[in-house]
Each structure stands twice: as C-alpha cells, then as structure tokens.
C-alpha cells in the first residue's frame, strides 16, 4: 500500500447558541451558492452550449457578494462556499463520465445540511478546533483518539434531521496497515432470516433493528400526522420521529462495522455476490426487511476495509445460481422458491439453502482468484446441458487512493 490511508474521523459536538446560528447561516449560504452555480451552468449550456467550470463559477461568486441582494454571502466564511463550487464541479464530472445523474438543486428540507472547511478556515491547536468566524473552539466529544501528530486536511460540519451536530475530520492515518497474510478464505451469502451465512456453516443472526422499534416509530409517526403544519408541536413531533430513525440507523451501522471488521481481520479472501439491491427493494413484501438488513452498506464497508488491510474481495456476478446449484455435484435445480430452506439433490446430498449458497459462492470466488477474472466455474443442468445464460463471475478490487 503506497502512502498512508486517508480517512475521516467523525465526532459529535455541542455548539453554543452563537456557534449554532453561525453554522446555520453557513449551511444556508452553501445551499444558495450551489443552487445559483447550478442554475448558471445549466443556463449557459441550454442557451449557448457553453460549459462553465469551477473558475467561472468562482468569479461569479465574487460578483454575487458585491450585489445588494446577495451581500449576506460575505458574512460567512468563504471556504465552505468555494468548496461547494468544487463539489458541483465533481458532480458534473461524474455526470459527463456517466457515473451519476445530472446534478440536482439542494432543498432546505430534504438536503443534508453541511459545510466543508479547508485548512485555511480553521485552527487546530492543542487538541482544540476553532472554525473561521468563531471566537471559541467547538465542544467536541472525542469518542476515539486521532492519530498522533495528525495534520487535518478538511473539517466538515453537519447537522442531521434529528438535530444532532457532527464534525468529520479528514486526515492521513498511519495506523492503517496491511494485515499479515492469512490462508483463510470465506464465502458470504446475505439474507433476511440470517443476516450473513458463511461457507464454514456459521450463521450470523439478523438483529432486525427497525422491527424492534417499529411500534414506537408507528406511534410517533401517527402523532406527527395529527399535528398542524407550521406549528411548534409539529416540529417537536418531527424531531421525535427523526431521533427514532437515527437510533435505528446507528445500531445498524455499529453492528455492520463490527461484523465487517471481524471478517476482514480473519480472512485473506472474501467472496460475495453483486446484488441489485435497488431492484430488490421494489418488492413490496421484502422492501422493508431488505432495507433493514443493510446489504448495500455491508458491501461498502467490506470494500474499503479490505482495501485498507490488504485483503482480496471477490464480487461474483448477480446472475450466478448460488442457491440452485448443488455444491457437491454441480447440478443446477430447475426452480428454487424462497420458501424452500432445505433441499435434496439427485446425488444424495442434503443442503441447507443458505449454507449451500455460501459454499458455491466461495468455490466460484476461488476459481476467479486462481485462474483470473472471466473464468466460469464448471456446472451442469439436470438435463446435462451447460448453463449458457450464466454470466461469468467478476472480480472487483478497490485500490486505496
């Protein structure tokens, strides 16, 4: 791994009334500048077929501050405003490279309230952080220590829908190094009844965090629906709902972090399936359970942790028949409904559906690592014909920047 890993350390902090007011104004200005720049770039293209870049929008920002209508933009730190223009440039670059959709306008109610401060816009001294336009340092809860002698690159302040304030400090972490090589490999099958089923037979239960708080959440949402729009009681009811959602999300993230860290530390090669989660949640009967399991977040955590610690993550194609294929003889069953949890093959083998799928995932992943990407595992159908519609497994490895 070349160089140190750059990572963000997120902490909760409690601003004073003056700091909260300053940050709220900054959030509003950041959103206003982003929307103005997006409108300007869209108009330039639609009217003149001209692409405006960051430099052009930065010059526009200087002009906006000099007008009476937008003079309030000069009352906050200029660093977050410049950063939001850079973020817009990245969004357009992703759109041009067909990695994302066209940038959308930021909404006061739906968009994330955040502001990014560069190194010139904050002071970091003796473990105390002071942002530009503020005279007092932030009251941060240091839940974990920063690396010794750290040099902060950026500090991103955000406020979630539950009214909690967070600061994310971006820096290099020399403590993240590749782990010693291991001979252990594992295939992982995600599910609903069990969150994860491993190829060694271990089944990790699904805590079902949302189900645990479903009754409390339903009551809070009913209470919110009865409040009159625009009233203070509705604001309080909305915060109660948001806090319940935040508690569910925090529990899910904590559980997934612990599981992925253990899997990466214990195994050299990890094999998973590339699931189309966005398509699967369209099933009204399973959408809530799939969202509660956090399959997408599980993969994201596994990807960057494997890259950090020098592990191999193999991602199989989503059409690989892991559940229908017999791990003993390779025969693919004609059908495999979801309610079938155990099944027997003609070769005499008796399979647990999830354990069998995890073993097939591991076997296909090992074939990829040994023979290279594009290798198709040998398999046959009950009729003796090869599965011609099966796509080849793909290997995905994230290289740390």
Inside any domain, residue 391: yes
Residue 391 has pLDDT above 50, yes or no: no
Residue 361 has pLDDT above 80, yes or no: yes
Q: Is 292 annotated in the active site?
A: no
* Per-residue model confidence (pLDDT) at position 149: 85
On whether both 161 and 197 belong to a single domain, the answer is no
Give me the number of domains the chain comprises: 2
- Among 22, 116, 210, 273, which one carries the catalytic annotation? 273
* Per-residue model confidence (pLDDT) at position 395: 35
Q: Is 189 annotated in the active site?
A: yes
Residue 371 has pLDDT above 80, yes or no: no
Residue 253 has pLDDT above 90, yes or no: yes
Query: pTM for this one?
Result: 0.83
* Per-residue model confidence (pLDDT) at position 243: 96
State the pLDDT confidence band at 318, using cuts at 50, 70 and 90.
confident
State the pLDDT confidence band at 373, using cuts at 50, 70 and 90.
low
Q: Is 354 annotated in the active site?
A: yes
- Among 189, 210, 292, 303, which one carries the catalytic annotation? 189
Tell me if 276 sits within 8 A of 367, measured CB to CB. no
Q: Which domain holds residue 166?
A: 5-173
**pLDDT tens figures, 181-191:** 999 999 999 99
* Per-residue model confidence (pLDDT) at position 338: 78
State the pLDDT confidence band at 3, using cuts at 50, 70 and 90.
low
- Among 116, 210, 292, 354, which one carries the catalytic annotation? 354
CATH number at residue 344: 3.30.420
On whether both 99 and 193 belong to a single domain, the answer is no
Q: How far apart are CA 327 and CA 324, in angstroms?
A: 9
C-alpha to C-alpha distances, 50 to 44, 58, 229, nearest whole angstrom = 5, 16, 43
State the pLDDT confidence band at 397, using cuts at 50, 70 and 90.
very low
**pLDDT tens figures, 132-150:** 999 999 999 999 999 988 8
* Per-residue model confidence (pLDDT) at position 150: 86
Last residue of a domain, one of 151, 173, 195: 173
On whether both 163 and 305 belong to a single domain, the answer is no
Average pLDDT, the chain: 88
Residue 19 has pLDDT above 70, yes or no: yes
On whether both 166 and 257 belong to a single domain, the answer is no
């Amino acid at each position: 791994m070349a160089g140190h890993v750059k990572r963000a350390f997120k902490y909760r902090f409690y601003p004073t009334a003056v700091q909260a007011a300053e940050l709220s104004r900054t959030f509003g200005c950041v959103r206003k500048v982003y929307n103005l720049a997006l409108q300007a770039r869209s108009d330039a293209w639609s009217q003149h077929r001209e692409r405006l870049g960051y430099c052009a929008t930065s010059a526009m920002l200087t002009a906006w501050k000099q007008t009476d209508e937008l003079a309030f933009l000069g009352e906050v730190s200029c660093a977050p405003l410049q950063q939001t223009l850079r973020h817009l440039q990245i969004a357009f670059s992703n759109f041009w490279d067909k990695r994302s959709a066209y940038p959308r306008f930021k909404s006061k109610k739906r968009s994330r309230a955040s502001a990014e401060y560069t190194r010139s816009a904050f002071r970091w001294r003796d473990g105390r952080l002071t942002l530009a336009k503020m005279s007092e340092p932030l009251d941060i809860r240091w839940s974990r220590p920063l690396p010794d002698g750290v040099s902060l690159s950026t500090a991103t302040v955000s406020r979630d829908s539950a009214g909690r304030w967070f600061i994310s400090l971006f820096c290099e972490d020399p403590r993240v190094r590749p782990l010693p090589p291991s001979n252990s490999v594992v295939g992982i099958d995600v599910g609903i009844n069990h969150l994860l089923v491993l190829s060694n037979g271990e089944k990790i239960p699904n805590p079902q965090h949302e189900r645990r708080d479903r009754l409390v959440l339903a009551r809070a949402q009913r209470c919110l629906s009865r409040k009159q729009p625009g009233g203070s009681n509705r604001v309080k009811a909305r915060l109660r709902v948001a806090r319940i959602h935040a508690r569910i999300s925090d529990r899910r993230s904590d559980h997934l972090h612990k599981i992925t860290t253990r899997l990466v530390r214990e195994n050299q090669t990890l094999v998973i399936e590339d699931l189309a989660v966005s398509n699967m949640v369209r099933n009204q009967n399973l959408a809530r359970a799939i969202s509660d399991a956090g399959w997408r977040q599980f993969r994201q955590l596994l990807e960057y942790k494997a890259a950090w610690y020098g592990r191999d993550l193999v991602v199989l194609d989503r059409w690989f028949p892991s559940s229908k294929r017999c791990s003993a003889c390779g025969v693919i069953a004609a059908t495999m409904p979801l309610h079938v949890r155990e099944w027997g093959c003609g070769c005499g083998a008796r399979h647990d559906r999830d354990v069998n799928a995890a073993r097939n995932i591991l076997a296909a992943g090992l074939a990829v690592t040994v023979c290279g990407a594009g290798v198709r595992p040998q398999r046959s159908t009950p009729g003796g014909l090869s599965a011609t519609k099966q796509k080849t497994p793909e290997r995905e490895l994230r290289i740390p920047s």
